[in-house]
Amino acid sequence: MQEIITKLRTDRLRMIVIISPPGMGKTQVAISVSHSLKIREPALSVIYVERLDKLTDICGEILDRLSNRPWSISEDLISQAKRRLSDLQEDAVIVLNNTEDVQGSEFDDFAKWLVKFAPKVQLLITTCEDLGFISEIHKVQLRPLDVNLSAELLRKLEVNCSEKQAKDLGVFHLLFHPWTATVMHLIANSYKDLATESSEDGYAEQAEMDYREALQLRGKLLCFHHDTARSHVFLSDVLVILGNFQSAREELNKALEIQQELLGPQHKITTDTVKKITDWLVKMECKDKAKKR
């Protein structure tokens, strides 16, 4: 992470691309760099954009973060973003996370245009696939954790784990891997669906248990991360099924805190969570009124 910050702020490189297969830690690096830059340079504009599959959506997010003023409906978002970014008078670092779904000639042209015509803008891109051009790029290849690194991570996560136990368990480092949390989350989704479709008992309880395990692992490995927020939202859904409304609201508030910080208040995912909280409050108010009658 420190190497990337140095390349951006000391060496003043215009574009850094982090390339690796899924689950190697690209997102965590991107988030860590974003937070570190904000702490080191409070006046620096750091724009973090989570995975989107259309360049127009990316440009819309950038415009949202640059200003609260509405966009012009007479001009396309890409052109507006280019103009705003080229006119910037202060430095800005744009972090585009997981761009593989949007990559192509249009995305490449946009990135190259920013490097050429937006001198105050620096790009940090994470992706599973290489970009279609090589000039003006500093590439960072992330490597899978080896056994020793996995053991070291395990020691940090489990205080009571001895060095020997950690090395033995490090062989099974996938047990402490973000993809493991994803699998647990998907299993919980299945139990939640069963809970809503079947009259049998136990499905919602199992979903809650699996969501909590996935959330615990994501919290340890990913910390302040979009997937961690997603786990809070889904756990909230199943808590509503179980009738634990107060805890459901607390989980939504935790998700919202992460989403507002990482995605911004205007992002659709953030506004969806706000709507969930609003709907929850309305339902609780209606239930309270019904009880008083």
Q: Is 1.25.40.10 the CATH number for 177-292?
A: yes
What is the DSSP secondary structure assignment for residue 176, as one 8-state letter? G
pTM here is: 0.56
Q: In whole angstroms, give the CA distance from residue 163 to residue 155.
A: 7
**48: enclosing H helix or E strand:** strand 45-49
Please report how many Cα atoms fall inside a 13 Å half-sphere around the Cα of residue 20, on the Cβ side: 17
Contact between 136 and 118 under an 8 Å Cβ cutoff? The reply is no
| pLDDT tens by residue, 27-39 | 778 878 888 888 8
84-126 tens-digit pLDDT: 999 999 999 999 988 988 988 999 999 999 999 999 999 999 9
Domain 2-141 has CATH 2.20.70.10: no
Over the stretch 53-77, which tens digit does the pLDDT of each residue have?
Answer: 889 989 988 888 887 555 555 568 8
Packing angle, helices 26-40 and 2-9, rounded to 10: 50
Domain-wise residue ranges, the chain: 2-141, 177-292
Q: CB-based contacts of 29: which residues, under 8 Å, 6+ apart? A: 1, 4, 18, 126, 142
Q: Determine the distance from the C-alpha atom of residue 102 to the mean position of all C-alpha atoms in its chain, rounded to a whole number.
A: 16
Question: What is the bridge-based pairing of β-strands 92-96 and 138-141?
Answer: unpaired
d(CA 86, CA 49) in angstroms, rounded, equals 19
